[in-house]
Structure 1
Amino acid sequence: MIVNYGFNATLTAKPGMGDRLVALLLTGLNEGSPGASEHCIVYLVSRSASAPDVIHVTEGWTREEDHHQIFAGEAAQAIVAQIDGLLAKESEYTDYVPVRGKTTF
């Protein structure tokens, strides 16, 4: 499958809540969750090396419409609702359309 839509999100957890935020975001890979969808090609959770409460999420989807449809679902909304309580500030998003690259997961 080809990624035709994606984004990077930077989430800043409340002080000391980085571990909880990472654990919650990783539940997005569980069966029935957004990252487990056949339309989600890339779901990568990373942590800042210098600021452990800053978390980066990279997602790549078959189509933007697929992403919006999946995130309107109950499983995604349950995760989003829990994320909000862990954040120190509003998340920053950058959308993109991949051109070329490599993944060897």
Structure 2
Amino acid sequence: MQNPVRQNFKHLKAVMQLLDFLPYDAFTPVVIFTGEAEFKTGRPKGVSSPEELLHHMKSTPPAVMSVNRMAFSVGRLTCARYSLTEKTDIEHQLYLDRKFGSLG
């Protein structure tokens, strides 16, 4: 299994590049583990449970973004993402197999 904190960091950086017109503090990296996840060396920084995420969201004032800026952001992300097809699923699995070894 890939390191979810590291993987999330890479995803966050990619999104930040696409939405480079937003300030750095507009982004909050979040990794959520559900169930009874156990960590060999304690829970890593930046990893939360669903309950902790809910508490954080309730205690944080909502950020304000204009409807136009939100629509532009969604449009830019939509245009940049790969099509959701069986081909992209297979290509992604082949990439992971090459990088980390096949599990099947």
TM-score by length of 2: 0.28
Q: Compare the two structures and name the one with the higher helix fraction.
A: 2
Q: Compare the two structures and name the one with the higher strand fraction.
A: 1
Higher relative contact order (CA 8 A, sep 6+): 1
If you compute each CA radius of gyration, which structure gives the higher value, 1 or 2?
Answer: 2
TM-score by length of 1: 0.28
